[in-house]
Amino acid sequence: MATFAQTVCVLVILAFAAGTSEAAMVQARDDKAAVNEKILLRDLSERARSWMEVRREKLWISCKPCDGKGTVVVPGPPGGFHKQQSKARETCKACSGEGRRFIEAEHRKAYFEFHTPEWQTSEGAFEAWQRSFRALRRQDSERVAPSSLLRRKVTLVDHSHGLTVIAEGKRGKEVEFEYRWVLRKQDGKTKWFLWKPSDGNWPDEQGQRDASESETESDAADEPDESDNAADSSTAREAILELEEEPRTALLAAAAAVEASWRVTAVGRVGRQLVVTLVLGDETLDPSDAKRLQRDSIAYVRALFGPEPTEPFEWDSIRLDFSGLWMDEYGNEELLPRWSVSIGTLEYRKVRWENERLDLAARWKHFTQRDREHADWTLIGDS
């Protein structure tokens, strides 16, 4: 790939050699830039595809000794008398009951080597990856190696930053995630790598808007397109994954310090979204008080996100689930989300929260609130 300097050089030579006017030179530069962008987009698209392939196909195998069940039949002592006992099952030692084994080399490819060369060689990066690999459990399979991965969008932000949107998860229940990529050189080759905050600032949204006309593509040709179902998954029961001890404790402590009517009972994540569960602390309060919900949302988001959302969280957005009491057709009662309030990291960073002239309405404008529904459950009261 030609560097910017090379590109300019070629253009200048071309322009002078042909003795063209300035207008023609501008035209030539535009043409060249368009070609360059096409190449960048194509490379990004291919790179995203190969990342998806590693994740989809190769990250884990079923445990052979237990046939993926996690337990094995314990052979009892010989003799008919112990026949009953011989059917007992015990945890498979080969996989510690997980039923599957993650492949270290493939996980390393997907979650270490796809990051920038700078990050890979940075202090503690390899150890951090090793820890994340060792902590993998069966329930993480859908996150690290989703059964379905559909590429929805490939976009250039500028000539060294790009975005891909990938719908991933259980087939028919995919959720869309946005991934950021940067262009870097490795072993003399320029390639796209997954971006981390330590790789430097992400260009502001102006750049994204400029590039938003670029190519949109879908894997509809080789995968059944389940876009309707993917959008639908917000109403399905989603898996909120546990955070690791360290961010969880810190986030709960930050939440506990906030003066609010709604109380945080849990923090977790869905992909790169931080999910916070809240219940109303005082039964005498009206849960439908919109102003209170707005004030509390703002207070919690500020406390949890801090001045700058950084590693190891790397959230793309934060979501507050305000609970209500629901009942199913069998009479079971459960606290489930009634409203979800969310804000993206980019938006959050842009707002000057400390500016006192920003009133509640001006702050609230940056949040999205939606009513939640749960199939077969009826709202019966407020938490």
Segment lying near Zn ion (by CB under 5 A), choices 60-68, 277-285, 332-340, 354-362: 60-68
Segment lying near Zn ion (by CB under 5 A), choices 66-74, 136-144, 266-274, 311-319: 66-74
Segment lying near Zn ion (by CB under 5 A), choices 86-94, 119-127, 206-214, 256-264: 86-94
Segment lying near Zn ion (by CB under 5 A), choices 91-99, 168-176, 207-215, 255-263: 91-99
CB of 74 to Zn ion, least distance (A): 14
CB of 89 to Zn ion, least distance (A): 11
Binder among 40, 44, 66, 293 for Zn ion (CB under 5 A): 66
User: In terms of CB distance, is 97 or 117 closer to Zn ion?
Assistant: 97
Binder among 52, 95, 304, 318 for Zn ion (CB under 5 A): 95
Binder among 40, 59, 92, 136 for Zn ion (CB under 5 A): 92
Nearest in space to 311 (alpha carbons), one of 119, 152, 172, 145:
119
Residue 86: how many other CB atoms lie within 10 Å:
14
Q: Is the peptide bond before 312 cis (omega within 30 degrees of 0)?
A: yes
Segment lying near Zn ion (by CB under 5 A), choices 10-18, 89-97, 117-125, 338-346: 89-97
CB of 69 to Zn ion, least distance (A): 7
- From residue 228 to residue 257, the character string flagging contacts with Zn ion as x (rule: CB under 5 A) and all else as - is ------------------------------
- From residue 133 to residue 172, the character string flagging contacts with Zn ion as x (rule: CB under 5 A) and all else as - is ----------------------------------------
Binder among 40, 44, 52, 63 for Zn ion (CB under 5 A): 63
Q: Are 100 and 62 in contact (CB under 8 A)?
A: yes
Q: Is 60 in the site for Zn ion (CB under 5 A)?
A: no
Residues that bind Zn ion (CB under 5 A): 63, 65-66, 92, 94-95
